[in-house]
Amino acid sequence: MSSFGYNMLGFGSFPSRGGDSIDITYVIVAGGGGGGKQAFTQNGAGGGGAGGHVTSTATLDGGTSFTITVGAGGALISGTGKQQGNDGTSSSIVGVNTASVGGGGGALGSYSDPTGAAGNDGGSGGGGGGVVSGSAAPGGSGTSGQGNAGGTGSADGSAYAGGGGGGAGAVGGNGSGSAAGDGGAGISTYSSYPGISSVCGGGGGCGYNASGQQGAGGSGGGGAGGNQANATSGTANTGGGGGGGGNRAGIYSSGAGGSGIVVIKYSGTQTATGGTVSESGGETFHVFTSSGTFATA
């Protein structure tokens, strides 16, 4: 018996949607925040915060496609003016997980601002800017379970260095005198996954001037700060934060945040498609270094 083009095998029977369901474990890293930009050597910009990270398990229906979004890092900033760092963007498996949150941009550096600028909130927070007077400018807040806060900017009244961006493993370092804060350390929790070693390090802050100490990038792809030299960008596919940067002439840039990554694994040989596929230790891995589609059989 047939009706509406379907073969009716019995009352209430309909065609199968596809193969068996599949149990996956996934790691999702968002893009890191870009470093802040300063317009003068006398005050330091904050480093960008690392992108957030999420890991969990899920059961997916067979014969179904899922959109993978890999977040971009916050863009670097060039030119002569001061500017707050650009936030990184989220990564996700659409319809499956809570998205990882992009890293917060580092604070701008502004000699004319006596209070300093706070870093942006994010997966991990951006570092605070240097302060001419008053209380230290705070770093941005991190997202619970995904990252840590950025460090505060220096506020000693004579030298104004930026704080480091937060990392997944530690808060960003505080600026102190002319020395900028280092980026917070990342994590190596996911090192058993192909394409991931150490990820989610914060960007280093920018020092008071060229002779001041620039903040180092956090382990896990964080970029170093720079003054009268271009700051270092976060490493691609780590979610690392970019270093804070700039100088009086404004010809040197801040660092961009590193892009994110998504990795999916399941037991047995390959039964799904999408990303770069490898098999190891009885498990199959799908690595996405850019956005794409994961499709179950």
Instruction: Convert the pLDDT of each residue in 159-181 to its tens digit.
Output: 789 999 999 999 999 999 889 99
Neighbouring-strand partners of residue 28? 54, 262
Instruction: Convert the pLDDT of each residue in 1-25 to its tens digit.
Output: 333 333 333 333 323 345 789 999 9
Number of domains composing the chain = 1
Q: pLDDT band for position 241 (50/70/90)?
A: very high
Q: How far is CA 139 from the centre of its chain?
A: 16
Instruction: Convert the pLDDT of each residue in 249-267 to its tens digit.
Output: 667 899 999 999 999 999 9
Q: pLDDT band for position 182 (50/70/90)?
A: very high
Q: Is residue 245 part of a domain?
A: yes
pLDDT of residue 155: 84
Q: Is residue 6 part of a domain?
A: no
Higher pLDDT, 136 or 214: 214
Q: Is residue 8 part of a domain?
A: no
pTM reported for the whole predicted model: 0.92
pLDDT of residue 10: 33
Q: Is residue 113 part of a domain?
A: yes
Q: Please, what is the average pLDDT of the chain? A: 89
Residues 6 or more apart from 210 whose CB is under 8 A from it? 41, 227, 228, 229, 247
Q: Is residue 122 part of a domain?
A: yes
Q: Is residue 243 part of a domain?
A: yes
Neighbouring-strand partners of residue 176? 179
d(CA 239, CA 52): 8
Q: Is residue 4 part of a domain?
A: no
Q: Is residue 9 part of a domain?
A: no
pLDDT of residue 149: 98
d(CA 228, CA 283): 48
pLDDT of residue 4: 35
Instruction: Convert the pLDDT of each residue in 27-78 to its tens digit.
Output: 999 999 999 998 766 678 999 999 999 999 999 999 999 999 999 999 999 9
DSSP notation for 157-225: SS-BPPPPPP-SSSPPPPPBTTBPPPPPP-B-TTTTSTT-SSB-PPPPPPPSSTTSPPPPPPTTTPPPP
Range of the domain at 157: 18-297
